[in-house]
Amino acid sequence: MICLTENISLEVLSLLYLLSRKYSFFKLRQSEPRNVNIDIDQNYLLNFDLNTSKILSSDTCFLIGINPRYEGSPLNLALRTRYLKGNFKVIQIGSLSNNTFSTHNISNNVKSLKSLIEGNSLFCQELVTALNPILISNSEIFKRKDSFGLTNSLKLLVKYINTYSYSKAVKQLNILNAGLNESGVNTFNVLKAIRNLDFKNSQGIYFLNNSFNTYNVKKLLNLKLLNFFQHNESTNKFLITQNHTLETKRIALLKKNFHLENQIHLPNNVLFETSGTYIDTNGKVNNMTKVVTSLNQTKSDWQITRKIFSYCKKIFYISNIFQSGKLVFNANTPHSFRNYIGFQHYATSNLNDLAFQLFKKIKKPTVKCLGFKPKRNKLFSSQLKF
């Protein structure tokens, strides 16, 4: 079982994916649950037309459970620049925070957002009479249990604003991703979160650039301490950690509570000592180059993952044809095509600027309204974020 985070590069992610497709006993998991609808990239990205000119032409910004000062400093700088020019109002639903500009905070509860969608709030007039209002939220809403209901409610809010707004410009919901490659992981696939069954059914757990301070891992540890998993006793299992830091206390608790006898730590390079490809919150592909040379004998994630491949003999994963028929690689020389761009199933010899021209922007499909009533969306009356 391989547990990933959103800080790994696209090269390592594609290599691990091909490893899991070749060998069925490799399972990919993530440390925190995320309920994301990845059918359209607009559901989890900042819109490509949200640039400086659009922010300058707007007079109202609506922030939903987001602190742009710490989650997106370029966005916060653009909002501050527009605020200093005057005639710009920022409405916020979330905890009180200093964004370097004044905001009108409504509350931190989902009930206020529900009343705003129903049209029972006084701020509905602000959004309807505003000139090109901007609605921004963050990817933290995907971690909630009612994330699908919350995102559908936000889409209804955008729909009502487009219907009753005085300005003719089309409004869209923008999602800000705070992680380094969170957009790339969402573009790849929605991975399941790690659970107790993964510790029970797998022979070992491989944590790749993972922090044990996430609430999901803490929950597993606390439930194990309360003997919640007392019938899941297993032995002869191992634990592999790959990170530039060694959390001895958390590792000791994992080994004790889940009966992990063997533990191996693989030290890797830090962010400034590696090079890779990442997708930012705008959907743009960025190449990161190595800035500092490592003084120790540590290796990058790409080198460690390729080393795992070197110990696997007779790997012909590129020429595999699966039962679904959706993933087929017909490369005559598989050793010269080692990189995959955007997980669009295009094989390229190297990662350069010309290779990313294979991308095609996904347009929003036109769906006709049917005569059926929409299903109910479940919402929890809880606070958005602290």
Render pLDDT for 269-316 as a digit per residue (tens, 0 to 9): 888 888 889 988 888 888 888 888 888 888 889 888 888 877 765 544
Average the pLDDT over each of 183-192, 243-252, 328-337 and give the range with the smallest value: 328-337
What per-residue confidence (pLDDT) applies to 83?
92
Which band of pLDDT confidence, cut at 50, 70 and 90, is reported for residue 358? Answer: low
pLDDT in tens, 60-112: 999 998 888 888 888 899 899 999 998 899 999 888 888 888 888 888 888 88
Top pLDDT among 117 and 22 is at 117
| The pLDDT of residue 243 is above 50 | yes
SS (H, E, C) the chain: CEEECCCCCHHHHHHHHHHHHHCCCCCEEECCCCCCCCCCHHHCCCCCCCCHHHHHCCCEEEEECCCHHHHCHHHHHHHHHHHHCCCCEEEEECCCCCCCCCCEECCCEHHHHHHHHHCCCCHHHHHHHCCCCEEEEEHHHHHCCCHHHHHHHHHHHHHHHHHHCCCCCCCCEEEECCCCCHHHHHHHCCCEECCHHHHHHCCEEEEECCCCCCHHHHHHHHHHHCCCCCCCCCCCEEEEEECCCCCHHHHHHHHHHCCEEEEEEECECCHHHCCEEEECCCCCEEEECCCCCCCCCCECHHHHHHHHHHCCCCCCCCCCECCCCCCECCCCCHHHCCEECCCCCCEECCCCCCHHHHCCCCCCCCCCCCCCCCCCCCCCCCECCC
Task: Give residue for tokens 């929950």.
Answer: 219
The pTM (predicted TM-score) of the whole model is 0.74
What number does CATH give the domain 46-176? 3.40.228.10
What per-residue confidence (pLDDT) applies to 196?
82
Mean pLDDT of the chain: 79
CA torsion, ordered 89, 93, 97, 99, to nearest 10 deg: -30
For the chain, the domains span: 46-176
What per-residue confidence (pLDDT) applies to 298?
87
| The pLDDT of residue 27 is above 80 | yes
